[in-house]
Structure 1
Amino acid sequence: MSRTLPTINTALRALALVAIASIATADCVRPGDRVLLVSTRPVGCTTDPARLAKGVTAAERADCRWNATDFSAAMASLDPTLPIVFYVHGNQITASEARRCGLDVYTRLVRCAEDDRPIQFVVFSWCSDKVPGLLKDFREKAARTKPVGYQFAWVISRLPQGSHVGLIGYSYGARVCSGAAHLLAGGSLGGLTLGADCPACGVASVRAVFLAAAYDACWNSPRAYHGLALNRIDTLLSTTNPIDPAMKYYKWVPINSKPPAVGGVGPRGLSREQAARVRLMPVANSVGRSHDVYDYLAAPGLMRAAWRRVAFADVSLEPEAAGADADAIGE
């Protein structure tokens, strides 16, 4: 029996992963939903607002294809009374992989929905293509997440007034989300800021789900590098998996220190108010020694919990209910 159960569990997980990985083939966008792509790849790592305005591209999924559209028009067309959910991918992802995986995350999310509320799902694609040398690649992309965090915050700041934003960040994508939230709260990333008017840029609320978050566990503590992120994020669900190899060996990415990663141990050094916004979900038993996004998507209960948060499934987003308490999340 002790030999049979692991074999059965492995087989069941393999079947689940095959099902998730085949989602893009079905390519179903639910009636009432919108699925968009926003890419900063054409502008590299620039943080010049003028270049971003001219170079950021957008597309919308319809009829099983991506149809190019104007970025500014796409942002303006989003409905602030419906959830706007961003997925930010991790490292070593090509443009085509970002599109395909983004669709998979969308479909997995809506398959775990507990109601039929429509959502607007946006895949954020950034320049994370693999560069030669494993450690060099990890360190170069870690540095790149600073300007990309600015780019992502700049994109969010273009949303309509009163928007309700859900963030799903995977690996370095969670690092990008955390940095963007810090900027949206009026913070600075190595001198990069969105300006004095940013905290009133129009976003009503932000909720986040981080999967295998690849950034320093202390960064969300007060006065740390992303210290204002949890001032802007109303609620954060973060997976923890210390045996994920990327989390286990994350300590070798920074040069002058060896910190643990949020995705391994959760955020550390938080104030009581910050800690009240965070829920940790251990997934080592289901994900195991893997840093594959599809293993995380298959973790039991994870995407159902993600839906409740990023789809604001516990509150109404109608204008008259905009002041509703967003922290009371039923599990």
Structure 2
Amino acid sequence: MPTDFKNFRNSFFLICGVVVAASVSVAAESNGEDVFADIGSTHSASVHARSTVHAGSTVPASSADRLWLFNTRHISSDVCCADVDSPHFDVRALDVCGNTAASSMDEYLLTRPEGRRTVIYVHGNRIENNCDAIDRGLAVYRKILPFRDPVPLDWVVYSWPSEQVGILAKDARLKAERTDAQGLYLASVLRKHAEFATPTTLLGYSFGGRIVTGSLHALAGGSLGGRSLSGPPVMGMPIEAGLVAPAIASNWMNQNGYHQLATKNLQQLTLFYNQRDAVLKRYWLIDRVRGQLALGYSGPRSFAPRFDGSKLEVVSKDCAPFVGSQHVELDYYQAPCRAGRGMAELINADELSLLGM
């Protein structure tokens, strides 16, 4: 494996797992603050979409898989204060019911069988605590499991501080800022994966997608919020990424974008987007830059080349006919959108590539 392995502050409002009514008025759309107010009031009357997996329930799982929680809720998400090279993750082993046992990064890294794949799942906004993060992470795991090849893997739930803070506009801007530090933290994990030659797949929803692409950019030596990892950049890792309704600008992964180096460690990108998403439709309002689209709304546009100069392979699906105007993660995993099948195919294809097929 090769070892050559703008300060654009993130901003955006987004409610992961919140049903947003499509009836926000056209008149309100022309006024950014009014739209914030309308969506905020809609949120207060809506039902927070949550996984049905809870502690004590049974989650179908492969007995050979290992489940983990990586928690960063206790450490700073201020990118200026973040210890980006040695973040103190709270690492815990999970069982299929979502129960946890204390562990460590060393145990996670050193007890993995050689060549074993790791899938890291990153949730979106307004997942209030670790229990909710585990619930959601195991729900997505369960949606993917029936379509996976029977190859054991490690499944990591990456839990970041996404609990609601203040009113909608304040909350969303704060969470958008937090994704810079979180991208750097996740990049430090990926650097460990590079050292251990760990096959890796990254899955992210909404703001979680922003963390995923930010981590890939930082791993390759890019800066986030004016910070970068120390040491030489890592490029050429054949990472697969699956994004559902990602809350990043559609041009962030092109050759001049904020996450322009992300493709230097990407083998393939699978993207589920929605051109009717009522939240992502208003992505431009946070900076009031008309015409700026979210990747999770527009679908694939242009991407920078991969490490070897080749074109990034992108598999995409517009789930608007099936999901409608709502911004709800698990809707993408229902028929006929079937994100679970698509993510499993991403993982399966990666296993075949490891076998030289």
Q: Say which of 301, 304, 317 aligns to 1:281.
A: 317
Partner of residue 277 from structure 2, selected from 244, 267, 273: 244
Return 5+ residue gaps in structure 1 as ranges.
Answer: 1-19, 326-331
Deviation at 1:59, TM superposition (A): 0.9
> How far is 1:311 from its partner?
4.3
Q: Which moved more, 1:141-150 or 1:153-162?
A: 153-162
1:299/1:147 CA distance change after superposition, 3 Å: farther
Establish whether residue 152 from structure 1 lines up as the match of residue 186 from structure 2: yes
Give the match's secondary structure for 2:352. coil
| Equivalent in the alignment of 1:232 | 265
* Cα shift readout 1:203-256 (whole Å, capped 9, x = no counterpart): 842100000000111100002110111121110011120211221122212355
Partner secondary structure for residue 144 of structure 1: helix
**Is 1:303 the equivalent of 2:335?**
no
Q: Which letter does structure 2 place at the counterpart of 1:242?
A: Q
Deviations 1:239-292 (A, max 9, x none): 120211221122212355651100001243335767542122110111111111
The correspondence for 2:145, drawn from 102, 110, 114, is 110
The DSSP-based 3-state class of the residue aligned with 2:176 is: helix
1:160-309 alignment runs, 5 A limit: 161-199=196-234, 204-255=237-288, 259-271=292-304, 276-300=312-336, 301-309=338-346
In structure 2, the CA distance between the partners of 1:205 and 1:78, relative to structure 1 (3 Å rule), is farther
Separation (CA, whole Å) in 1 of partners of 2:351 and 2:246: 25
Report which stretch shifted further, 298-307 or 248-257.
248-257
**What is the deviation of 1:104?**
0.7
SS of residue paired to 2:166: coil
Paired residues for 1:88-127 under 5 Å = 88-95=122-129, 96-113=131-148, 115-127=149-161
Structure 1 distance, partners of 2:53, 2:127, is 18
Distance in 1 between residues matched to 2:237 and 2:111, nearest whole Å: 17
1:186-205: CA deviations, max 9, x gaps?
Answer: 222232212342316xx842
- Does residue 1:36 correspond to 2:68, yes or no? yes
Displacement of 1:72 after TM fit? 2.8
Consecutive unaligned residues of structure 2, counting only runs of 5 or more, are 1-49
Residues 85-94 or 20-29, more deviating: 20-29
Cα distance in 2 between the residues matched to 1:255 and 1:152: 29
**Contact 1:230-1:274 at 8 Å conserved across structures:** no
- What TM-score comes out, normalization by structure 1 length? 0.82
Q: In the alignment, what sits opposite 1:10?
A: none
Alignment of 1:67 with 2:93, yes or no, is no
SS of 2:234 mapped into structure 1: helix
3-state secondary structure, aligned to 2:101: strand
Output the CA distance in 1 between the equivalents of 2:167 and 2:249. 22
CA distance, structure 2, for counterparts of residue 181 and residue 228 of structure 1: 7
Q: Tell me the secondary structure at the aligned position of residue 240 of structure 2.
A: strand
The structure with the greater share of residues assigned to helix is: 1
Query: Does residue 27 in structure 1 map to residue 64 in structure 2?
Result: no
The range that moved more, 95-104 or 299-308, is 299-308
Q: Deviations over 1:144-194 (max 9, x none)?
A: 111111011112222352111101100000000000001112222232212
Q: Residue 269 of structure 2 contacts residue 312 of structure 2 at CA under 8 Å; is this kept in 1?
A: no
> Counterpart of 1:78?
112
TM-score w.r.t. the length of structure 2 is: 0.76
Q: Are the aligned partners of 1:165 and 1:206 in contact in 2 as well (CA < 8 Å)? A: yes
Once superposed, what is the RMSD of the aligned Cα atoms?
A: 2.3
Task: Please give the secondary structure, in 1, of the residue aligned with 2:133.
Answer: helix
Change in 2 beyond 3 A, CA 1:198/1:284:
same
Give the AA of the match of 2:314.
V
- Count of residues paired in the alignment: 296
Q: Distance in 1 between matches of 2:112 and 2:349?
A: 16
Q: CA–CA distance in 2 between the matches of 1:215 and 1:50?
A: 24
CA contact (8 A) 1:119 1:311 kept: no
Q: 2:125 and 2:228 mapped to 1: Cα distance?
A: 24
